[in-house]
Structure 1
Amino acid sequence: MTSRLNPYISFPDGTAHAAMEFYQSVFGGDLRVSTFGEYGAPDPSLTDKIMHGMLETPSGFTLMGADTPPGMPHVAGTSISVSLSGDDADELRGYWEKLSDGGTVTMPLEKQMWGDEFGMCKDRFGVDWMVNITAKS
């Protein structure tokens, strides 16, 4: 197996499952989740919380996430931005529409001075996204 780089997002108390299902609805693919309870967490409040989730999509994206365990700080969206880029304009615009729905557009997806279409948004779970559609030559 080759090395790969992918984002790993920590979600606030008990929201990881809903967030990972949301991203699955955006990108499609196979979502696998493991709860703290499956691994024998002694604290009953952790039983149904996500210890590890991984979404692998048909486009080759991998997104991982988990609930933040008690005692660990969580500041939504401040430590990660996820970048989507490529030249499949229809696919990327579709992701943009779904990710920005219910969230906040911080920079509209539009043509930029470097020639590409680019936009930034914060989704409804507080995660920052950047979308870049490469200009056709």
Structure 2
Amino acid sequence: MNAVTHLNFRGDARAALTFYRSVFGGDVAMVTYKDAGNVQEPSEADQVMWGQVAADNGFRVMAYDVPSRLPWNQGENAFFVSVRGEATEEVTAYWEKLTDGATILQPLGPAPWAPLYGMLKDRFGITWVLDVISEYDAS
């Protein structure tokens, strides 16, 4: 299990991830809304639905472009904490504990990109994204 800062942008995720890679090294991976078959606004098809920079030195950051249909304010929801695990049981146990006093934004369940995915805002106002790690196949 690891926790990763998940940065939220409005159209700048690709540039930010590319920049962070130039600073910290490592590999960058990006999936667009089009890649994932989740285009709801045609002008946002090539924006980043999920992206990550991971370096051997331990640096890791995730990012995405918040769709225009969702509210976004850089000062209010500029990041999520992403918790990724390898086992459904592990992620479910964390989810169940985090839901105490939380607002569920996306119920924990299967998603096209992960065997298990959910999002909540905890009782302290922090947004958490939990998922089970899977290999992404863009084909």
Q: Please report the TM-score for the alignment, with normalisation by the length of structure 1.
A: 0.52
More strand by proportion, 1 or 2? 2
Looking at structure 1, the residues matched to 15 and 25 of structure 2 have their Cα atoms a distance apart, in angstroms, of 14
Looking at structure 1, the residues matched to 35 and 69 of structure 2 have their Cα atoms a distance apart, in angstroms, of 20
Q: 1:58 aligns with which of 56, 64, 67?
A: 56
The offset of 1:71, in angstroms, is 2.0
2:46 — aligned with what?
48
Q: Is the 8 A contact 2:30 2:52 kept in 1?
A: yes
Q: Does 1:25 align with 2:54?
A: no
**Partner of 2:35: helix, strand, or coil?**
helix
**Partner of 1:73: helix, strand, or coil?**
coil
Amino acid at match of 1:24: R
**Partner of 1:39: helix, strand, or coil?**
coil
Give the RMSD, CA atoms, in angstroms: 1.8
Task: Name the structure, 1 or 2, with higher relative contact order (CA <8 Å, separation 6+).
Answer: 2
Query: Against the structure 1 CA distance between its residues 26 and 38, is the aligned structure 2 distance closer, same or farther, given a 3 Å change threshold?
Result: same
After superposition, the C-alpha distances for 1:39-58 in whole angstroms (9 at most, x for unaligned) are 22243112110000011012
Q: Percent identity?
A: 35
**Gap regions ≥5 residues in structure 1:** 82-137
Query: Against the structure 1 CA distance between its residues 29 and 9, is the aligned structure 2 distance closer, same or farther, given a 3 Å change threshold?
Result: same
**Gap regions ≥5 residues in structure 2:** 80-139
Query: Against the structure 1 CA distance between its residues 73 and 51, is the aligned structure 2 distance closer, same or farther, given a 3 Å change threshold?
Result: same
Q: Please report the TM-score for the alignment, with normalisation by the length of structure 2.
A: 0.51
Amino acid at match of 2:23: V
4+ residue stretches of structure 1 with deviation over 3 A? 77-81
**Partner of 2:53: helix, strand, or coil?**
strand
Larger Rg: 1
Looking at structure 1, the residues matched to 76 and 67 of structure 2 have their Cα atoms a distance apart, in angstroms, of 18
Q: Aligned pairs, how many?
A: 78
After superposition, the C-alpha distances for 1:70-119 in whole angstroms (9 at most, x for unaligned) are 122222254568xxxxxxxxxxxxxxxxxxxxxxxxxxxxxxxxxxxxxx
